[in-house]
Structure 1
Amino acid sequence: MTKSLSRRALLRNAAAATAASTLGAPMIWAQNIKDITLRQFGTGVSNLNAVADKVKEDLGFTLEMTALDSDSVTQRAATQPDSFDIADIEYWICKKVWPTGNLQAMDVSRIANYDKIVGIFKDGKLGPDSEIAQGTAPHSVGFIEEPGATGFAAEQTNWMTLIPTIYNADTLGIRPDLIGRPVESWAELLNPEFKGRASILDISSIGIMDMAMVCEAMGEIAYGNKGNMTREEIDKTIAIFSEAKRNGQFRAFWKSFDESVNLMASGEVVIQSMWSPAITAVKTRGIDCVYQP
């Protein structure tokens, strides 16, 4: 009887063979590592050609990288499990896609630098007295009880869902050369001074948080928990930004990393919610751009 093997099963077998070879066990190579291609996808923040080049140089195999916007990453991880080997996803996305059973947990004992991962990703606290973050705190979706579980564990276990690779705090990106004065508040995003030259990201799970930061800074709404808003808080937040949109406050809304870079680099936008690597990408073009504290 012939039993077919999935791509992932073949890759697992190849990995097992590699481990065996380090122990000196006899083996027959079914595939040269140079012929292996791992298919990875994620957002433009992390899908950098330099990473794939370094993987090829140091490890010998090919890393095929695909950059998508966050919503498309979510959809692909949830609906196309046979289209990838590595999913580079954000923690809020993990909450949406892990229950599908499409992702495989990692054995903590095999993560060499596990002890160096900071507490935010393990118990929700950077220090003993830290408050646990609002929203999808990473540790709350970071572990499962056992392989195959589609729900999350309440505390650290031996099975980790994600390994953190990129860490930043979203804030405003600005063009100081075009603004000409200090910007010190999220409220500036809706300042009429920047009418038609502001932007915000069109990724609902993140954008709503940035919108809440603006509304709170304006003194319009005092949220109980931005990560678990009441219906009244949601309605009022959306109403404030809908009015701003009707009044022409926004030049555009961006969904992808590259869109945010191009809007800022072109000068069409002078203030927008932005990610740290996007600021760096603008700076590499010789353009003054600041990740606003």
Structure 2
Amino acid sequence: MTVTSDEEVKKAGTQPNSSTLWNRIVDGEKDCALGADAAHGYQAPDAMGQCDHRLDPKGEVAGKKIGAQGTAPITVMYLDGQKSKKFSSSPTRWATLMPTTYNADTLGIRPDLIGRPIEHWHELLNPEFKGKASILNIPSIGIMDAAMVVESMGEYTFPDKGNMTKKEIDLTINILIEAKKAGQFRALWNEFNQSVNLMASGEVVIQSMWSPAVTKVRSMGIPCIYQPLKEGARAWGAGMAFPRTLKGRKLDAAYEFVNWYTSGWAGAFLFRQGYYSGVMDTAKQHMESYEWDYWMLGKAATQDIKGPDGSVMEKAGKIRDGGSFDARMGAVACWNAVMDENRYMVKKWNEFVAA
């Protein structure tokens, strides 16, 4: 059974002891970050230098200030102390999560079927692509993609796309409903394989997309671009949370697993999907130099680039969509978040789905 990130976050918040470790999406301080908060059932893991996420504590990438709307991981990554309920503005020993991966998301397109440049988020609702567009059906993420579209259309500028008011939610959902009733969307996708199939079949030519789905489509020999857009990207982060009930040998085993996960092999696998590893240096040790140059530095590939399954997803001479880490993460406009009005937002999102 496929479980969406929203469902995983909900279960992690309400049933923390149903798993030894929770791979949690960093989607808002109320739902994921207070590792020492007994109400959330988590303890603060000892980071011990593992938080090599390349995001400056000042919220900068390569000296450039990046978007902080929503919940930027650096603002909720650390606690003042092991049992503290307060976030630290600078790195400490105690983390809210053990960081695993993060990325900057954008729209995926079929350039061969579109036949012209795509530069803006509002193209998702362009009537030119009526019946050929799709948006992901995960409310907390889909609403932020929609907000990027709304701003790109010039309809409204959000003070914080990651924490909308009810009026802002209404505005955004009404625009989506109007587009849906006009036949804009071929489908709404809930999980990875749906997005791959929609794009690979050509049923959809522009949609919300995740990096591994783009990698999968390209490894099938089908043109697919993870399109950089002028308004920037929607970013996210993920990490592993430790339930408070972990003690003794179980706690030791949890740390052993995290130590393995951050030792490099998993990080290299994530890179080959198009993600960034939460611990860069060890991932680099498990990658060929030409792979690191392509995925991290944005250099032209000197050899064919292969996906995690070993199939060729990019030919030698090509450059990664969006370029280097500094270019891609430097273009972040906002971060995934759980809004104060999350329940209202989900209710309105369901109205959009049913429209």
* TM-score scaled by length of structure 2: 0.58
| 1:246 has 2:189 as partner | no
Letter in 2 for 1:117: H
Per the alignment, in what secondary structure is the counterpart of residue 164 of structure 1? strand
1:83-106 CA distance string (max 9 Å, x none)? 322222221156414454333322
* 1:267-282 pair list within 5 angstroms: 267-282=202-217
Structure 2 unaligned spans of 5+: 229-355
Structure 1 residue aligned with 2:54, among 115, 118, 123? Answer: 118
Structure 2 residue aligned with 1:92, among 27, 40, 44? Answer: 27
Shift in CA distance, 93/286, structure 1 to aligned 2, threshold 3 Å: farther
Structure 1 residue aligned with 2:136, among 201, 212, 234? Answer: 201
Deviation at 1:289, TM superposition (A): 0.8
User: RMSD over aligned Cα, in angstroms?
Assistant: 2.3
Structure 1 unaligned spans of 5+: 1-65
* 1:204-215 pair list within 5 angstroms: 204-215=139-150
1:263-287 CA distance string (max 9 Å, x none)? 2122221110111121001112221
Deviation at 1:221, TM superposition (A): 1.1
Sequence identity (%): 53
**Relative contact order (alpha carbons < 8 A, sep ≥ 6): 1 or 2 greater?**
2
Kindly indicate whether the alpha-carbon contact (under 8 Å) linking 2:28 and 2:70 is maintained by their aligned counterparts in 1: no
| 1:265 has 2:200 as partner | yes
Per the alignment, in what secondary structure is the counterpart of residue 81 of structure 2? coil
Per the alignment, in what secondary structure is the counterpart of residue 43 of structure 2? coil
Distance 1:84 1:256 in 2: 22
Letter in 2 for 1:118: R
Partner of 2:223: 288
Partner of 1:167: 102
Partner of 2:40: 101
Distance 1:194 1:131 in 2: 31
Letter in 1 for 2:53: I
Kindly indicate whether the alpha-carbon contact (under 8 Å) linking 1:265 and 1:282 is maintained by their aligned counterparts in 2: yes
Per the alignment, in what secondary structure is the counterpart of residue 143 of structure 1? coil
Partner of 1:226: 161
Kindly indicate whether the alpha-carbon contact (under 8 Å) linking 1:143 and 1:153 is maintained by their aligned counterparts in 2: yes
- Give the total of aligned pairs: 224
Deviation at 1:154, TM superposition (A): 4.3
1:127-151 CA distance string (max 9 Å, x none)? 5552451111112221223334455
Partner of 1:33: none
Distance 1:129 1:265 in 2: 36
Per the alignment, in what secondary structure is the counterpart of residue 61 of structure 2? coil
Kindly indicate whether the alpha-carbon contact (under 8 Å) linking 2:124 and 2:149 is maintained by their aligned counterparts in 1: yes
Letter in 1 for 2:3: L
| Larger-Rg structure | 1
Per the alignment, in what secondary structure is the counterpart of residue 181 of structure 1? coil
Per the alignment, in what secondary structure is the counterpart of residue 232 of structure 1? helix
Partner of 1:70: 5
* 1:2-151 pair list within 5 angstroms: 68-92=3-27, 95-97=30-32, 98=34, 99=37, 100-108=39-47, 110-111=48-49, 113-114=50-51, 116-120=52-56, 122-128=57-63, 130-131=65-66, 133-151=68-86
